Every structure is written in structure tokens, then in C-alpha cells.
Structure 1
């Protein structure tokens, strides 16, 4: 449950930056934060009809391609210009694909995934921590993956760079304490992609003790708890229907 002090509209509401808010989980969380009374600054890579509605609901949006460091820096400058403090920095932006089949393609893919999963969170954290320390109970949360502990060879590049994000957050949990708390959420099979067929879905759910998709709501519930709990930093919250204790 989120801190009751941010449940209602305020003259100076808490501010959240959500990266990757253009679709799926990031879009869902941005909507939830708006409903909770946050001023939401959202980053996206590609424009969509959902983003137009999010903007009408009150979100302030910035387009940036995280494979380009200059655009990461531009996002930080934009945030610094628009607010005097930041309560939540959510590293949600993600790149996902099966591992490239050739060394040349893998080099390109690894560079892209490294920029999205590791360099962007590092630069944003460094460039926005001065805003975070001005807020009451500031929090950084990164969305990683249960695969960081049990990597899938078919997703080696994705798993490795998500594991790098986890390690980065563990370092920040130490270096930014006690002023800023840093935690991570590790989703499991929360929402299948449109490209996943029924055979794939059934195979994954058969290895998931709770035997169902979680949806985005359980991730939001974990995030709300991390925001509210002032005595948690360096924590990894698995939200995966028990899949991490089963055979991946």
C-alpha cells in the first residue's frame, strides 16, 4: 500500500520519472501513479495512441532513444528543467529479443541492450540524484527479471545486461544510502507477448507454481510497497508466480 500522504491531489505533488512508459508495464505504472496523485514525467521511444491518452490524463512526456547517450543526457536536462525535486525514478525501459545468431549481429545487439539496460539507468541516476535527495523518502526502483539468476541461453544478451542492471542497483543501494533508497523488482511471466503462441504459454505456465499470468497489477503492488517502506534498500522483489523456485 502506498503511503497515504500521496494518495490525494496536492499543491506540490510528488514527482516520478518513468522510463519506457509507451506500452505494457511502463504505461500501466504511469497511469497508476497519476491516479495516486503523482506528477508523472514519462520517457518513451516510439509514439502511440496510448501515449496521447496518457498525456491527456496529465503526464508530461519526452521522446528519447536510449541507444544514443546524447538523448539520455537530453532527458536528464529536461527533467532538471521541469522540477525542483524527484520522489521516484523508475528504470523500466527495456530491450528484448532472442540472442543474435552471428557475432556481428550480437555486437550490435549487445551494444543496444547495454545502453538501454545499464548505461541509461546509470546516467539518469547520476544526473538526477541531486533532485532525488531534495524529496522526502526518495526512491529508485529498477525492473529487472528473474532470468538474471537463471539465464536463458536463447536470451543471453538480454539476461546479461539485465543482470548488469541488478548489479548496478546493488552498488547504488550502498553508495546512495541513507539519502536515497534503491531496490529492484524481478518479474516472471506477468504478461505474454502477442508473438507467444499457446504452446509456449502452456509450457511456461506448467513451470509456474501459480499456473497463471500475473498481469501488471502485482508489479504495481510491489512498487507501491517499495515506495512506502522506508526501511528497504538493496532489496530484490520477485513477482513471478513462484517460477523462480521452479525449473526455469
Structure 2
């Protein structure tokens, strides 16, 4: 079976490609910017397609390349854009539009184009990666969180629309892997409010993916993978 994973240039998307290949999947990976690390995925046999999700024509081209793929059985929407809220109103509006295109419009377009193909295969799944902060959106990340919440809502609607042929679920990561720009003070503050008191790493997300793939009675579910962070005040 073939899986499409978006946002494979680094971090979680890159890791998920490696794990899917090891599990026997044929993998197509979408990336926006060329990175030396992508050669590792090519060496594993991953088919890599460059597409900027802020450009609808490139999203459409990605979908067109897979619409006739007979064995497409999984889509993992991992591509993400992240940054704090911009300073001025014009920049905020432009930022919101970019987040909307990446987190909502591109997954929506891919789902609409590829759902009929998925429906032709047994145990087909769509997994949307969102964020625990969709439930308590911090003002400094308003555009990011709002569009991630929109992605969650679209996934829940799709779970109803595509059942029983295709299962649709979401994964909500917490502090699994800090960004380079997160200083030590920030990390300590986050982990102090995380019951398991440690950074999760990428493996727990893969374990959640495995659960969603193997449990054929799960659709419309959201799995928090956050070390208990959402139990505390976000």
C-alpha cells in the first residue's frame, strides 16, 4: 500500500516517512524546500514531490499525480507553518492567509481529490496532525492555532462524510520536540506544566499512527500525545 505524507523535509514528517518505509509502505512525500536530508528519504525509496501549499496550482498538481494511484491507502497531513503573531495588521492578515492555505485549504483540496481513490482500498485512513493548543489558543499564536483548529473541524466533518469507506482521525501533539529557537527558560516552563516532565520525542507520534492504522473501529477520534500537558492550564 502507498502512503502520502506531507511536510517531510524535517522533524516529524521526515521521521514518519522512515517509519512507514520500515513497516513496508510505499511512500510519497511532499516537501516545500529542498534540504540535504531529503537524500536520505530518496535512498529509502520515498517518492518526493515538491509543492508549496500556499500555491493552489501546486497542490492540485500533487493531487493529480496520485489520483490514479491504485494502492493509495493512507494520507498523513503533517505539513505546518508556525510563527508568532505578526506585529501589524497587514502582516497578520497575510500570515493568516498563509497558515490557512497550509493547514486547511491544502489538506481540504487533497482530501477532496483523493478520497475516491482511498475509498477503493480496505482500511484506508486519513490522519491530520493538529495541536493540543487548539483547545486553549494562546493569543500570541492566534493565526496558527485558529487554522489548526479549522483543520481539526474539517477532519471531523470528513470522518462523517467518508464513513464507512475511509476512516479519518487526528493526532494532537504537545511538547514532543522543541524548536531550536526555544531557549532553556521556555523549555523549563513548558516541562514544569507537563505531568510527565520530559520532552516526548517523535516515537510517541508514530505509536499513535500505528494505533490509528491497526484499530479499525476508530474514526472521528483525536489522540493527545502530550505527556499530560493539556491537563494543566495551557
Relative to the length of structure 1, the TM-score reads 0.93
C-alpha displacement of 1:179: 0.4
- Aligned with 1:171: secondary structure? helix
Q: 2:6 aligns with which of 19, 22, 35?
A: 19
C-alpha displacement of 1:159: 0.4
Q: 1:181 aligns with which of 151, 167, 180?
A: 167
Q: 1:54 aligns with which of 31, 41, 46?
A: 41
C-alpha displacement of 1:130: 1.5
Other-structure match for 1:38: 25
- Aligned with 1:135: secondary structure? coil
Question: 5+ unaligned residues in a row in structure 1: which ranges?
Answer: 1-13
Other-structure match for 1:11: none
In 2: Cα distance, 1:29 partner to 1:165 partner? 20
C-alpha displacement of 1:143: 0.2
Other-structure match for 1:5: none
Give CA-to-partner distance per residue, 1:16-56, whole Å, 9 cap, x none.
Answer: 00000110000000000000000000000011111111011
- Aligned with 1:181: secondary structure? strand
C-alpha displacement of 1:181: 0.3
Does residue 1:236 correspond to 2:226, yes or no? no
Other-structure match for 1:85: 71
- Aligned with 1:22: secondary structure? coil
- Aligned with 2:143: secondary structure? helix
Other-structure match for 2:112: 126
Does residue 1:28 correspond to 2:15, yes or no? yes
- Which runs of at least 4 in structure 1 moved beyond 2 Å after TM superposition? none
In 1: Cα distance, 2:159 partner to 2:44 partner? 33
C-alpha displacement of 1:78: 1.2
- Aligned with 1:79: secondary structure? coil
Paired residues, number? 234
In 1: Cα distance, 2:16 partner to 2:73 partner? 15
C-alpha displacement of 1:85: 2.8
Q: 2:196 aligns with which of 200, 210, 231?
A: 210
In 2: Cα distance, 1:22 partner to 1:88 partner? 19
In 1: Cα distance, 2:48 partner to 2:122 partner? 24
Other-structure match for 1:9: none
Relative to the length of structure 2, the TM-score reads 0.99
C-alpha displacement of 1:79: 1.6
Q: How does 1:66-77 map to 2 (within 5 A)?
A: 66-77=53-64
Other-structure match for 1:168: 154
Q: What's the C-alpha RMSD, in Å, of the aligned pairs?
A: 0.7
In 2: Cα distance, 1:207 partner to 1:247 partner? 8
In 2: Cα distance, 1:56 partner to 1:47 partner? 15
